[in-house]
Amino acid sequence: MKNIYDCYTLNNGVSIPCVGYGTYKAADGDSAEVIRTAIEAGYRYFDTASFYGTEEYLGEAIQESKIPRKDFFIASKVWKAEMGYENVKKAFGKSLEKLKTDYLDLYLIHWPLPEENYGKWKELDLDTWRGMEELYHAGRVRAIGVSNFLPHHLQNLLDYAEVKPAVDQVEFHPGYTQEATVQYCQERGIQVQAWSPIGRMRIVKEPLLVEMAKKYGVSPVQICLRYALQRKVIPLPKSSSMERMKQNQNLFGFEIEQEDMWRLTTLPVMGWSGEHPDRYRVKVLESTERYDL
């Protein structure tokens, strides 16, 4: 990979850029301005979701850019409350309308369970997946996948689904690398993506990251993003300033040495959001509680 436009190939042959832009909380003042800036900065892969409330702004920004739709890679997700065979197809239609497009490049199930301790999640996931397979076979979406699925959730789909998930988007960053899920996916040709690839800025003052940033002449954020790339995981960073957006793309002029990769992989748990698909959300220490700032 030499720049953000270089691509991985998904298990159905679709090309996907190696770095994307995450739009969670990217609607600055309920407008498309931040996303317009991201397009100007060069991003063409945008990750959104019905839950984010940014689909409409992304659609507006893309339309105003005058850049052909085919030059963008657009991904969205179906929310917990929209799961089920009929519901997912309705949710997909609403997403297309807000995004002002007639197809998606990638569509994901956002979470495997609609709520904690939901006993019939296997049946619901399969029912939802059946609706997504129908959208895929109809050519309305180029690839389908999941988000926040752990190996046991994925195995349920693989045991019964006609179409293998192309992607699993999970929280992934130094301090929370979800090794079991990453290994499971990579062994089965499922592309892993990283939401919160910098631990929501909670880990940038970690001494090891600061040390490595100095060693390689980059920022701690760039260390996190480069780490994902070297693990063959697609990072989805988000920033609101042009300067940071450009910096987040500048990942290809250095390589983290193997020893440093091991050190990053074996960090103790830190920067975790507290989100887990099978459990109630955990309150975790913020960086300001961990460090004397």
Taken as a whole, the chain contains a residue count of 293
Q: Which residue has the tokens 């100095």?
A: 214
SS3 272: coil
Q: Can you tell me whether residue 261 is helix, strand or coil?
A: helix
Sheet harboring 21-22: ordered strands across?
A: 21-22, 45-47, 73-78, 106-109, 144-147, 167-171, 191-195, 234-235
Which residues does 288 contact at the CB level (< 8 Å), separation at least 6?
none
Catalytic residue among 52, 57, 136, 227: 52
Please name the amino acid found at residue 197.
Answer: P
Quick check: is 52 catalytic? yes
CA 238 – CA 57 distance, rounded (Å): 15
In this structure, are residues 162 and 133 in contact, taking their beta carbons and an 8 Å threshold? yes
Taking the C-alpha atoms of residue 242 and residue 276, their distance in angstroms, rounded to an integer, is: 32
List the catalytic residues.
52
